[in-house]
Structure 1
């Protein structure tokens, strides 16, 4: 049976779409148009899925139909002659993939298809772990198109992906601005799973035939409808049974007896057909663009290259030559637009809509009228002029004004002199706003010139350094890529060494090259080397660098660890192998249950006291407690009760990992001697962040003459509130009088003005050792400074700037003028941006703004991952599987006891990931995003449950940042330490917030200044400082002055910015500077030239 399918539409959950895009209205318009299969649209959106489940019921295999009550409710809104048209829905939705590949930002829209609601739910669960799928029906995901295809195929082999509108400049597979040059380049090894391509409104099959690499693919056409009335402005034709699998099999096989071709927009009507500049009124064909070298004569900037030009670039066939076995196609003009032309009013006007309904009521669905009915029948109901217009459309005798740069083209069937005289009436429309039509182009915004950015690299290393390999050169060549100071540090192995390394000075490369040099040039055994960092992420980076330098097998023999992980190793070896680490949420729960009840402030105070006591290496019985806490004589009693509770459940807290390790080594000399003999070469990163316990640990390990190398920067000492004391850094040369000091001054990260501004800020701190950083990059870009009226406006400004710098995230961004034209040629992707703030509470307004925009983001430095309810419950269950006697974990996990007992019996046979899956299933948590993330973290743990739980307890806020996720990073200034980004926004640069004056506590303004300095020096190419006149924080309205830290930057380095909205577009004359043009209208072609390919006769009124 012959079917019309429109497989790519949207729902009302998509941005800039009609509120009427729901199942009832789509059914009404599908019947009016004569469409039998509708791609249900926006399947990635949970709200739309819920609506579909409410309104649809299963029909034929893989298809759904409106429920009977829906059919009854809408019957009277359908013209009588259209009511019996069958309508089926197929589950489909568009995904916006924005990511980096091959050093270029790619923006590709893809349509995915699923056979049932269960698969859609699993797709949503997977995609929600990657990005925000709730703010836009067409979600923006920072993931590769190839990876999207892989995900849906793994979830269900019957899922499919078809690249959408493949020629559109900004959001398409072959688009000139952000696409690829071939299907294979985009989908790599998964290319065989791509069997169809959507041509889009601005191209038709003959244009696609010119590129022979597209020959294997079926070409489909869809409306991409943003309102129900736009259904079937393009569609695909089949002769198949109603079946999901049969439809896709017809496309995959390219069987001409089942896949019958397409219905096509006249491509000139598409808004990206020709080249040009909408704001300047320039519209050119490709040859004219080339003659002008692509430069607009009005503004002097590059014109937007359209689809026809892009096709010409990739074409390897002459125009007019069809591909082998080319499918037929039919060009159409929607009936309301022909009526609009005849009556001289807009297609959305009441007059046109009334006549449209009258004609459909007598003649049946629109597609049958346009293509199937005899012209005399049309003339009898609609008049001779309508019949003549439809006849001209069928013959391809049209007059076209091509679309360009987001401006829809205009297609007419009658010359201007035959049109109604009241041309102003063409703009008549109903009061209700509608999506853009042929007569309603979206307005442009003002633009600003900017320089193209440098392609970013978000590592701590110096830019441009290639990895070193010992297989390629002798050990001395390891030093070839170091500057003189770095080389001096790497060669200093005969004495203790302290390296002062400013931000971006290549400290990780220096440290790892020194270690590699010890192994390769001096035959130091890798087992004798201990490298200590403060975060798991830093340890992992160090390991990866060493693997590149000395190979994986040698690097695996080096101990690379955080301080606390090293403590775990020592305690398991020399004290007790079976203890469990108590994470912070459970620690607070334990204290609450012991004696402090609901008094949160008292609990937090006691927990701070515990940390202070253990960092000072004091036991509950130590008399030093009375000096540390003179106003709390009962603290030792509570401390002892807390320690007894830990011992009862075989627990150690985070502070114990250093505290007990130091006590062990001080009290058991034999264990200390064992470690001293093992580790003869010790390197320590971020030495300025040491606390007393960590300092004492290092002094113990090096007391027998081990070589110690430390690296750090006192100007980045920002953890005093956690007990860190950068004075240990300063006394290094007192502790080791023969030590050598090396200063790394060359900054390989930040543009010169950013670095200069940061140094002006930090120079105001007294009592610091002054040394000047030298910028390797001489970029003189100024720092942007913006004052917002409120914190919400501040957040919106950040979102708008990111959208502008990335070149727009949607057609709406570009066509509405929200994004300025000159920002489109960029190499930024979402992962290149960081938004930093002093307090977690500031993130709320930012998250709301990002959620509304649909821009993907990730947050760090907020509620610990292990404190989230689902994660906390599952971790408690895993702890019980390890130790069923733990009373503390039993309080946290009171459900599914049989599952826990079964897991306990299967310890060592199940992977940790499998255990999490079973617990989640028993608790009904399978769809949780946090559970999915926990499973990903468990993938490398294998069956080592104890190690996995220890690793989770040792996670820091920075460790949860995933640089592979192409999302904007929202994080506290503390969490940003050790990271770098091409573009950084620091919000809340206000007195009382940065520096932060906490109520009831003394503020260390010098440390706050160091914190601001750390934030500034995360930026590579662009730094934006923001402050608000009014801010709501902790339920209070704040009116703060701009931070005096900002005032310490000289004005010459700053540029004040203002928020600019889209301007109302003035009507501009279209300069059609084509050699063959006479005015702004031209008969572009007569489709009779393609008669062999459009001769197919279909009955669009056939009943199923």
Structure 2
């Protein structure tokens, strides 16, 4: 573990604080993550807490993974189920364990935003909308309503609260109706929204669904109405750490307070100056409320910055002070009447001015240009100059934009010059090329006279339509009053004068087209499977993978979009059992686009040596040597304040809202975040002409920084603000340099963690490993996997109930000596098991209804056999269920999940894995079959004191088990094998090893080496 001496005084105080509440105000680049991870590691290593007694809550899953990896590296050993994750993941766990206590179904079915949209659309008549259901576009406000409901849940404003408010408003409006008709209309609007919110919650309950906001709301309800359950979790989780506390919403903070209690060991880490997600700009609300709720809390302010040069920090600090008095530093030094009225703030001397640990001055430069083209050229020229003069990588540079559309010109210029780049955008799925390609093909299948979609298909290289012939299509179309479809059907007409290549390409395209028209007419086929089949037959998945010369980042991006497409389609099918057609899916996408939605995109990990382009929001938590903040003109940054489509009534908000301009302050905090990403160089750029009629004015933020343009458009820097910063004039007349695009050797970001499935796949075929785990190419699901997931999920819930109802909490400690207990009755009925199975049922990928019913019957029969066996011979004594692990082997992290850990009679444990396939016995169980459980034993022994008695596969089809014990020779052999495999993965060229296994491979239709 990293020695405590590596910490500065403030960091050490935070890490060594053990008992009671702690507030850490952590400025940008002050080593916040190091403090949190070392604090967790120290609690464990010093024996103060066991891993499962610590909860660390983060804002994103990515942050949680990073924190988990750092703790693992610090400990140098494995840990089982340390609770590091998002609030939603934590609450999902709580409700899956104890949701039955408040009558919730188990397991919880959590719906995505897309699924919620479809649910509301399919039941729109139930909502009795008038104001929010325009006749021309009845679905227009669905997204706005759902966002509103989500925001209400963030603020813990329940449907009954909203209805009471609406009723009060209606009563007031009745009294003034004759004098003020506007008041009456507003009251009706609010009542409509309140009733819609109530109806939405009723609909979710009827269907057995939760949205993400419900996870926290129901966990709060559980803790408040079941004191014994709250007491249990307070005992289980004795140390609570909350990261990014400034952005935590009201409901999340209420949850943390309940779990910690008044004198709990709770640590919160935040910085009000970096609050960019907090509702209505209430940046200091949480921290001030924490000081009120925990008046005796220790406070540590981290100001030693390990990222940026001092002049960059000074400029950033001077800028953010423009948000005074609505800043924590200001209010703690000199609280004003407004905040004193909201919460008692005690004056204390606090400075948030960051001090650089690194010496020297950073570059601070402003790039002023005449036109957008000049600005783009100058920025890219500067990046190239940095690479040459500073011996820097392209990956050391980041271009930060306020809105994603500002990135397009920079992307095009980087492409033109052959400079590698990554563009991280969270929106725009529906307008991405891959998404539009697939939609175009589906559109012509359902409407052959959709000429626009045909023309999009002609542009795709895989269809091999000659560019010179495309104009002939248009000519013939106009001359003969045909649609494109008629032109294609008459492609052999001599008068068309098409090239032979185009004729052959069109005939192949129409052959697939006719085949797929018939495929769509067949009944009983899984809709998503049809889509996979069609895309494979036209060669689209193969086209997505690209060729060996193509940059792998490009392939990763396309595959990521393809994955998102299938996820969207699958979510739609799941919510539309009766009408889950591809035509319905297309209509759904069109409806969302009409309502102003663009679709969300998952972030894609790419190679490091590329210029990073992203929004400022996406840059939060990152750092770069050189940062370019571009398009700094009004009204791009700061943007114009836009109200929410449906605003939360101020009377219902519980947070402390700022006194002054909420939007401008939030834009300043966002700009401050952008500035503090820079380590060595900070660049601001703007132009006068962005293509409109009017000349653009520089952003007011440049003036606040002391960087502006005078009336003669000559760039000026006020020295008192920037020190020795300098100005670089535009080189608008400099010739734009061009070079051949750089072809880089394909490179993938190898997984940071490995698993049994990865080892097994790589040993079968390295190319399959690349397709599955590196490129993550989507594949059709399989009904057998759906069935396996159902059985595992059902057994997980059943044994959680068994564990809970047998009151085995004393046995749950994985580090202590477990109590010996003879098998006994579980207190769970066969009807309970059936109910849990039905709730856990995964309905995807079955061939037809007959097969679906066959497997549902089979699953219930298997569970019934288990029930009668356990009732007769005694129920197992599980001490862990679905136990996750992560352990280090030669410095590499291996992860997995153990289905069940049972207490054995001899004080040892039994590790169990469920199998839904064909049963095996001791004779037919091969060496490779044993590896999975051997791996589990290595993980268990790396962290646990309780020895393993045996390893068992439980075959559910006939309720049989095969058990074996692992010798030291077995374990040492596996360690050696795993190390060898990991090294091979890291050095592999991922060549194919075709063979008999190709017949069962999900990639056989797109793999050029498959032997089928």
Larger Rg: 1
TM-score by length of 1: 0.44
TM-score by length of 2: 0.48
Higher normalized helix content (fraction of residues):
2
